[in-house]
Structure 1
Amino acid sequence: MAERSFLERGFADTSMSTIASELGGSKTTLWSYFPSKDELFAAVIDSKIEAFRRVLDEALIPTGGTTAALSRFGHAFLNKMMAPQSIALHRLIVAEAGRFPTVGEAFSRCGPDRVRARLARYMEEEMAARRLRAGDPLTASRQFISLVQAGCYFDRLWRPLDTLRVNIDEDVAAAIETFMRAWGPVTP
């Protein structure tokens, strides 16, 4: 219920009173669980990412090698990011973060920061095993995520009515090819 209110009304126009009435409870009860709207928003984001984290953990198992794991991760990540609710959430965060910096901070801490950290742990393991070039795992993580998002995700984000440019398989393959040129192991 809170998620729907935030996505439909935005952060500024969503009130604890409205959410409480939609839930059929009292504002006092809601406040006892969430002392502020910021904390409720963070809880909504955290609940959205919990299942996604498990999917990412499964994607990054070493079965099949580095490119196979990156492919699984890229597909899982991009499919999640392309979902209508994810697109709506991204737009909400971008629209509200300037006026409400705590919204951007809560989203970043609960979502993107955790995803990048999880991927960075995987990158660090691959670097230690010399399956990836040595370097900063967080930088490698950020770069891979950016490469995955560079195609159809941004097309969908900025052109919501354009359904012509959606090829997740091609975008993930291109991201992996580019990433491995920069971060693949050094061959003698």
Structure 2
Amino acid sequence: MSDKTTPETPAFGLDDPRVLTIVREARRHFMAEGYAATRMEPISRGAAVSTATLYGFFPSKQHLFSAVIADASGDFSAQMEHVRVANGGAREQLTRFATAYAGFMGDPFVRSVFRLVMAERPRFRDVAQQFFDKGRSDFGRPLMAALQTLTDRGELKIEKPSWAAGQLMGMIEHPVFFMPLVTGDEVQAARSPEQIAADAVETFLARYGV
């Protein structure tokens, strides 16, 4: 199998506790060492399973990497449950969403997974695309629906909710996610995530508030 081909994750015993142990151990190795430098044998040792057992669940490193990204995506979905637009007025809803979104995007683990996916995007194009599309959908669609509802209620004046949602999320993503992604996690933003979220909401309401 060519490295340029993204494998389908095989059907394996998801109820077998060894599977999750292997995937989490592999995640640690992939994030610390990168895809190319990661070897299967240290993963099997760290997961306390034989190499034969590891290959029984995951026939290749490509399959294992795909499973790691799928597992991380599942973790993100669980975290995203807290990043929802709830009932309330425009400022209350937007502040709740912006604060939760800033906290999620500012999580070093989230950046670590994104770095790993971006680094291996040419090799695992389909896996990477699914990963990014899921994140965009899980965040963007509920926000767009909320913006449309607030517009229908006369609290906002928005012609294109998709554009407006992208602008709000972009004001948060740049300082809490993209800047640390480029400069390194040790570089801290001058503003706290809560202040970044509050500033983004103020700017958004100045543009779209009634």
Query: Fold-level match, TM-score > 0.5?
Result: yes
**Cα offset for 1:98?**
3.5
Q: Deviations over 1:50-76 (max 9, x none)?
A: 22222013xx1123x111221111111
Matches within 5 A, 1:70-109: 70-109=94-133
- Which residue is equivalent to 1:36? 63
Unaligned 5+ runs, structure 1: none
Q: 8 Å contact 1:152–1:165 — kept in the other structure? A: no
Tell me, in whole angstroms, the C-alpha distance in 1 between the residues paired with 2:94 and 2:201.
Answer: 7
| Equivalent position to 2:143, from 119, 127, 136 | 119
Instruction: Tell me the distance in 2 between the aligned counterparts of 1:145 and 1:37.
Output: 32
Match of 2:175 in 1: 151
Supply the distance in 2 between the matched residues of 1:128 and 1:56 (Cα, whole angstroms): 22
Please, which of 51, 54, 57 is the counterpart of residue 78 of structure 2?
Answer: 51
- Residue 179 of structure 1 is matched in structure 2 by 204
More helix by share: 1
Query: TM-score scaled to structure 1, two decimals?
Result: 0.78
Residue type of the alignment partner of 1:144 = L
Higher relative contact order (CA 8 A, sep 6+): 2
Which amino acid is the alignment partner of residue 168 of structure 2?
F
Structure 2 counterpart of 1:129, from 150, 153, 163: 153
Which of 175, 178, 194 is residue 169 of structure 1 equivalent to?
A: 194
The alpha-carbon distance between structure 1 residues 31 and 98, as it changes in their structure 2 partners (threshold 3 A), is closer
In structure 2, what is the Cα distance between the partners aligned to 1:29 and 1:149?
A: 40
Alpha-carbon distance in 2 for matches of 1:13, 1:106? 24
After superposition, the Cα gap between the structure-2 partners of 1:136 and 1:30, relative to the gap in structure 1 and judged at 3 Å, is: farther
TM-score by length of 2: 0.71
Structure 1 residue 28, shift from structure 2 partner: 4.8
Aligned residues: 180
Residue 152 of structure 1 and its aligned partner are, at CA, apart by 4.0
CA distance in 1, matches of 2:63, 2:100: 32
RMSD over aligned CA atoms reads: 2.7
Question: Higher mean Cα deviation, 149-158 or 139-148?
Answer: 149-158
Amino acid at match of 1:83: D
Unaligned runs of 5+ residues in structure 2 are 1-23
Deviating more after overlay: 160-169 vs 172-181: 160-169
Q: Which deviations, in whole Å up to 9, do the C-alpha atoms of 1:111-136 show, x marking residues without a partner?
A: 23321122222222222222222323
